[in-house]
Amino acid sequence: MKEQKKYVISVFAIFMMIMITVFISFSTVNTAQAETKASLEETEMTIGIGTYGRYYGFIYNKTEHRYAINVVSAHKSATYTFSSSNKKVVTVKASGTKGLLTGVASGTATITCKQTLNGTTTVVGKAKVTVKRALLEETHEAARLTLGTGSLGSWVQEPICYIRYRIPDAKYTYSTGSKNLTIKDTRYEETQAGEGYFGFKQTYTAKKAGTYTVTVKETYKDVTRKVGSFKVVIHDLEIEDSYTLAPKESVQASYLLSYPKRGKKYYFEGDGFDAGVKNSNTIAYIQKDNYGNDIIYGVKEGTCKFNIYEGTSEADKKLVGSCTIRVDENYIVNYQTNFVSYVGANSSSIYFRTSPNALIEDITISISDESIIDIYDEAKLELLKCWYFKPLKAGTTTVTAKYGDNTATCTVTVYPSYEEYLEAVSY
């Protein structure tokens, strides 16, 4: 009988321990929940008109990129409501712990989120929402388009312009006022990003080189407005007059071309010699690499000329220019003719291209006006030699680099302010 009582007492003790443990656990959860206060993930945000968009980038997703305000540390048993201080600017609809936003017109409104828990309603927080209309921002690409037909704007390719706060469901048109340049806005499915993703790219056809003014208009819900305008520069083919390399050095032939026409192929042939044959008289010759690229190789010191042809095929090619190839064991040439900076810049740089044999310590640098810039360091970057300089005052000076008996020059222009510098280098 005593053993039976002991058994009952043991079972009762175990039961009590379990109940105490559950009570402590329940109390701990309630205490933690009470200590964790719900809040808004963002208290200030900017959106476009509509329900979704992509402020920066190329791709969109109607679900993933939905404009929304989120509640963090939300209580499972609570409900949340959202309201807008100005429904003419932005409206909001509750969806669980999210407030789904719809931009209506440009302006600013306050979104208030409330929580109802156990019959008590409290304010979780407020968020300032700014709605902006689509606006334009031209890119560097707008100043370096080539003749022909092409497309721009993707994961890896910059578009002609960005449409900030774009409405994905709106229609955008580009007008140039000329038949020589036409631009279309084209939607494409971005399957690599996943289901439901899409983007926009600009396809263009340029028939004549020149500078064009492009006007962009937006049509949304049967209302059309001008978004803005920007300049587009179409370039014709440019060919380097000459190029210098050392014996055993090589350069890809396409490097001699700037702004090659889209849809055209280019052919390089020796002027008065067989460019594909290397013999005792060869100064430079051309050969295809494993990828089908034309590569020019230097053989011995001297000069020769390559003719350059353009066409869609070998049969219809036509001569468009030529380039003189100079082979020099110890050359130094300017990388570009003019370098720019501005007063107040911490550092800027000048480059010269040299023979592989050239050591940077064997090159001497002189400045025509040392009151404009001060050169303080140098660095070797493969075949490029770099000199860092500090702008001292506004003006233009000439920098001369000498290697052995060869010299090369370039100019350095220092602008009075960063703003004037930006205006000068803007495309």
The percent of residues in the chain predicted with pLDDT above 90, rounded, is 75
Instruction: Report the chain's mean pLDDT, rounded to a whole number.
Output: 89
Contact 391, 342 (CB under 8 A): yes
pLDDT in tens, 316-356: 999 999 999 999 999 999 999 999 999 999 889 999 999 99
Read off the DSSP letter of residue 291: T
pLDDT in tens, 7-25: 444 544 444 555 545 444 4
10 Å Cβ neighbour count for 272? 8
Contact 102, 50 (CB under 8 A): yes
**How far is CA 32 from each of CA 73, 100, 118, 203, 312, rounded to the nearest angstrom?**
11, 29, 17, 57, 73
Contact 152, 160 (CB under 8 A): yes
Read off the DSSP letter of residue 261: P
How many whole angstroms separate alpha carbon 111 and alpha carbon 89? 11
pLDDT for the residue 100: 97
pLDDT in tens, 39-68: 999 999 999 999 999 855 678 999 989 999
pLDDT in tens, 258-298: 999 999 999 999 998 888 888 878 999 999 999 999 999 99
Residues 6+ apart with CB under 8 A from 9: none
Closest by CA position to 381, among listed 405, 350, 404: 350
How many whole angstroms separate alpha carbon 90 and alpha carbon 84? 7
Residue-by-residue DSSP string for 231-256: EEEEE--EE-SEEEE-TT-EEEGGGG
**How far is CA 411 from each of CA 99, 335, 338, 340, 347, rounded to the nearest angstrom?**
58, 11, 5, 8, 16
- Tokens 């933690």 map to which residue? 32
Report the pLDDT averaged over residues 392-416. 95
Quickly list H helices, 358-402.
none
How many whole angstroms separate alpha carbon 236 and alpha carbon 226? 30
Report the pLDDT averaged over residues 238-265. 95
Closest by CA position to 398, among listed 375, 379, 380: 375
How many whole angstroms separate alpha carbon 38 and alpha carbon 80? 10
Categorize the per-residue pLDDT at 6 as very low, low, confident or very high, splitting at 50, 70 and 90.
Answer: very low
pLDDT for the residue 35: 53
Question: Between 106 and 155, where is the model more confident?
Answer: 106
Burial 404-426 (b: 16+ CB within 10 A, else e): eebebebbbbbbeeeeebeeeee
- Tokens 């001297």 map to which residue? 302
Using CA atoms of 17, 19, 23, 29 in order, give the dihedral in degrees to the nearest 10. 90
Res. 4: pLDDT tops 80: no
Q: Give the bridge partners for 226, in sequence order.
A: 217
What's the CATH architecture for 240-327? Sandwich (2.60)
pLDDT for the residue 57: 64
Domains 240-327 and 332-425 equal at CATH topology level: yes
10 Å Cβ neighbour count for 248? 12
Per-domain residue ranges of the chain: 39-132, 135-235, 240-327, 332-425
Cite the beta strand spans of 34-88 per DSSP E: 39-40, 44-48, 59-61, 68-72, 79-84
Using CA atoms of 404, 410, 351, 258 in order, give the dihedral in degrees to the nearest 10. -110
pLDDT for the residue 9: 45
What is the strand order of the sheet 302-311 is part of? 242-245, 318-327, 302-311, 265-270
The percent of residues in the chain predicted with pLDDT above 70, rounded, is 90
pLDDT for the residue 24: 43
Residues 6+ apart with CB under 8 A from 3: none
pLDDT for the residue 106: 97
Res. 29: pLDDT tops 50: no
How many whole angstroms separate alpha carbon 303 and alpha carbon 32? 83
Domain 135-235 has CATH 1.10.645.10: no
Q: Which of 232-236, 385-389, 401-405, 422-426 has the lowest mean pLDDT?
A: 422-426
What is the strand order of the sheet 364-367 is part of? 338-342, 406-415, 395-403, 364-367
Q: Which of 193-197, 300-304, 385-389 has the lowest mean pLDDT?
A: 193-197
State both tokens at 397: 């000076």
How many whole angstroms separate alpha carbon 362 and alpha carbon 342? 29
Fold of 332-425: Immunoglobulin-like (2.60.40)
Residues 6+ apart with CB under 8 A from 34: none
SS3 252: strand
Q: What's the predicted TM-score (pTM) here? A: 0.78
Report the pLDDT averaged over residues 225-237. 96
Categorize the per-residue pLDDT at 393 as very low, low, confident or very high, splitting at 50, 70 and 90.
Answer: very high
State both tokens at 53: 């968009």
What is the CATH number assigned to the segment(s) 39-132?
Answer: 2.60.40.1080
Closest by CA position to 65, among listed 85, 45, 51: 51
Res. 384: pLDDT tops 60: yes
Report the pLDDT averaged over residues 350-376. 92
pLDDT in tens, 153-199: 876 678 999 999 999 999 999 999 999 999 999 999 988 888 899 99
Closest by CA position to 58, among listed 172, 170, 187: 187
pLDDT in tens, 114-158: 999 999 999 999 999 999 999 998 898 999 999 999 999 876 678
Categorize the per-residue pLDDT at 209 as very low, low, confident or very high, splitting at 50, 70 and 90.
Answer: very high
